Amino acid sequence: MKPSTRYTTLAAAILASTLVVACGEREDATVGERLDGTVNEAQQAGSEMREDARQAGTEMREDARQAGQDIQAAGKEAADTIARDAADASITAKVNAALAADTQLSALAIDVDTSNGQVELKGTAPTAAAKDRATTLAAAVEGVVKVDNRLTVEATS
């Protein structure tokens, strides 16, 4: 071989071996490095899952608290309605009793309806004075706020 060809071949061989060493020097991550990376990713995923679970728990507690308040409000509203209805029924019974006790009025001919303490009288009264007396008797009952007297006076023949 000629000296120049030998040097060229030697230079090419050195260059090739340098490239092979350089390329092979840092191959992909080692098994240990990959394991460390996987462990770190798992720890990060675990931290994120814990945070997500904590957040979900906080949201669930808030939802449960709100549901409890809603149930409590609904229960109070139902209790208020029952109490109001019971009071109205009591007023109606007392007005009927007062009308039945009056000799000029017949409780059977008078329909008494009560809503929120407002009494409505419907039916007939024998005279205008009896109609006015029905208003007075109904208004005297405890809890009555207003009396709407819609009684009609019977026509005399």
3-state SS, residue 145: coil
**Residue 1 reports pLDDT greater than 70:** no
Residue 95 has what pLDDT? 93
DSSP assigned state of 153: E
Residue 143 has what pLDDT? 92
Average pLDDT rounded to a whole number, residues 13-31: 62
Residue 150 has what pLDDT? 94
Q: Poorest-confidence range of 31-35, 45-49, 89-93, 110-114? A: 31-35
Which has the higher per-residue pLDDT, 134 or 50?
Answer: 134
**CATH top-level class of 38-153:** alpha beta
3-state SS, residue 108: helix
Average pLDDT rounded to a whole number, residues 88-97: 91
Among 82, 137, 148, 145, which residue's Cα sits nearest to residue 113?
Answer: 148
- Which of 71-75, 85-89, 149-153 is predicted most confidently? 149-153
What is the reported pTM?
A: 0.55
d(CA 98, CA 108): 12
d(CA 138, CA 97): 10
Contact 143, 117 (CB under 8 A): yes
Classify strands 146-153 and 110-115 as parallel, antiparallel or unpaired: unpaired
Report how far apart, in Å, the C-alpha atoms of 131 and of each of 63, 74, 110, 147 are: 57, 41, 10, 12
**Residue 21 reports pLDDT greater than 60:** no
Task: Tell me the per-residue pLDDT of 108-141, one tens digit each, with 9 for 90 and over.
Answer: 678 999 999 999 999 988 888 999 999 999 999 9
- Which helix (H) or strand (E) segment is 118 a member of? strand 118-125
Contact 100, 107 (CB under 8 A): yes
Domain boundaries in the chain? Answer: 38-153
